[in-house]
Amino acid sequence: MGVAHRRLRDRQHPMTTTDTPKPAVVLVRPQLGQNIGMAARAMLNCGLDDLRLVAPRDGWPNPDATAAAVGADWVVERARVYDDCRAAVAEMARVYATSARPRDQVKRVLTPRAAGPDLHAATRGDGPAAVLFGPEKAGLENDEIALADTVIQVPLNPGFTSLNLAQAVLLVAYEWWTAADVTPGEQLLAGAGPSGRPATQAELEGFFRRLEDSLEATGYFNIPDKRPAMVRNLRNVFARARLTKAEVESLQGVVSALYLAPKMPRKRKRTAQSEEDPDG
C-alpha cells in the first residue's frame, strides 16, 4: 500500500507554471511503457504534470515510457507509483472515472467537453481532483469506478469506441485546458509589421469611396435605380475577403492604375490576308 516509488527533480518545468489547480491523472494498471510515455506527453501538452501509476504491469521505472514521452520525460520521472487505486486517490476531494459504461452504477456522466469546466470548478471549490484511466484491454473494474463520483464518457462512433490510452488522456486533458483558454476560435494570422493587420473600417471606407467614384466616372453605374444594389454587392465582395491594410493599399493602387492609365489603342487582330505581302 502507498507509494512504492517516486523520482523527483529539484526544478519546475516552465510549461507547467500556473496558479490554476490541476487535476491528477491516474493510470490504473497500465500495460505498456510506451503508452505511459505518450500519456505523459499528452498531459504536458495541456499543462498537466501530476501523473500517478497504479501497479504498472511491467514495473517501474520503465525506459520505454521515458523514450515515448518525447520531451515530457520530466512528467514521467516525477510519476508516483501506488499499489492500488484507493491509495492513489486517498487525498482527493473529487474523483472522475473514464469508462465506456457505468457498469450498472448510478453515476453522474459527463462528456469530456462538459468535464473540462467541471474539473476547474471542482479543484477551485472542493479541493484536489483526479481522473482515473483504466488499463488498455479491459478498462476500470467496478470497484475502481465506485471510487468516483463522476464518470466521463467520450461520445464516439457506437460501432467503434476503442481508444488508445494516450488518446483518452489527451481528450480529457485538452478539454480541461481549453475550458480556461482565451484563444479566439477564429483569427486572422496577420503578417509581420503594421501592414499585416486587418484593415480598419475607415481604411475600407476610403477604398470603397475611391472605387465607387472611379466606377461612376467611367459610366459603370449606367442605371441610377440599380446603383445602390450594385454598390452593396461590390462592398459585400470585399467585406467577405476580410482584407488586411496591405491588401487595401494594393487595391487602391489597382484602382489608380486602371482609372488613371492612358487609354491605349486596341491592337488590330492580324488575319491571314493582312500577313500576306501586299506587293505579292
Any domain includes 83 = yes
Residue type, 220: Y
Any domain includes 272 = no
Residue 104 predicted with pLDDT over 90: no
Distance CA 182, CA 184 (A): 6
User: What rounded mean pLDDT belongs to the chain?
Assistant: 85
Same domain, 138 and 223: no
Same domain, 109 and 143: yes
Same domain, 250 and 143: no
Number of domains in the chain: 2
Domain of residue 255, CATH code: 1.10.8.590
pLDDT per residue as tens digits for the range 24-36: 999 999 999 999 9
**Residue-level pLDDT at 3:** 41
Same domain, 34 and 168: yes
Distance CA 62, CA 190 (A): 45
**Residue-level pLDDT at 217:** 86
pLDDT per residue as tens digits for the range 79-93: 999 999 999 999 999
Which of 114-123, 163-172, 211-220 bottoms out in mean pLDDT, i.e. has the lowest?
211-220
Any domain includes 269 = no
**Residue-level pLDDT at 180:** 92
Residue type, 199: A
- Which of 144, 179, 214 represents a domain boundary (last residue)? 179
Average pLDDT over residues 19-27: 92
Any domain includes 248 = yes
**Residue-level pLDDT at 259:** 72
Domain span at residue 140 reads 3-9+18-179
Any domain includes 246 = yes
Same domain, 201 and 169: no
The answer to whether 99 touches 139, Cβ cutoff 8 Å, is: yes
Q: Which of 104-108, 127-131, 237-241 has the highest mean pLDDT?
A: 127-131
- Which of 153, 179, 205 represents a domain boundary (last residue)? 179
Q: Give me the helices (H) in 218-244, please.
A: 227-241
Average pLDDT over residues 226-243: 90
Distance CA 69, CA 210 (A): 58
- Three-state secondary-structure class, residue 131: strand
Any domain includes 273 = no
* Residue 4's pLDDT band (cuts 50, 70, 90): very low
Same domain, 56 and 143: yes
Same domain, 143 and 252: no
- Residues with Cβ within 8 Å of 219's Cβ and at least 6 positions away in sequence, in order, are none
Q: What is the per-residue burial (b if ≥16 Cβ within 10 Å, else e) of 80-95?
A: bbbeebebbbeebebb
Distance CA 226, CA 133 (A): 65
Question: Beta 3-6 vs 80-82: how paired, if at all?
Answer: antiparallel
pLDDT per residue as tens digits for the range 151-181: 999 999 989 988 999 999 999 999 999 999 9
Same domain, 49 and 135: yes
Q: Which strands make up the sheet holding 24-28, listed edge to edge?
A: 3-6, 80-82, 51-54, 24-28, 129-133, 94-98, 150-152, 108-110
- Which of 124, 155, 179 represents a domain boundary (last residue)? 179
Residue 100: closest CA among 52, 160, 42: 160
- Three-state secondary-structure class, residue 180: coil
Same domain, 216 and 94: no
**Residue 61: burial class (beta carbons within 10 Å; 0-12, 13-18, 19+):** middle
pLDDT per residue as tens digits for the range 129-140: 999 999 988 889
Average pLDDT over residues 49-58: 97
Same domain, 166 and 225: no
Q: Record the cell numbers describing residue 188, joined without a space.
A: 486572422
Which residues are paired to 96 by β-bridges? 131, 150
Any domain includes 276 = no
Distance CA 18, CA 177 (A): 12
Same domain, 66 and 104: yes
**Residue-level pLDDT at 255:** 87
Same domain, 51 and 151: yes
* Residue 242's pLDDT band (cuts 50, 70, 90): confident
Any domain includes 200 = yes
Domain of residue 105, CATH code: 3.40.1280.10
- Angle (deg, nearest 10), helices 201-217 and 227-241: 140
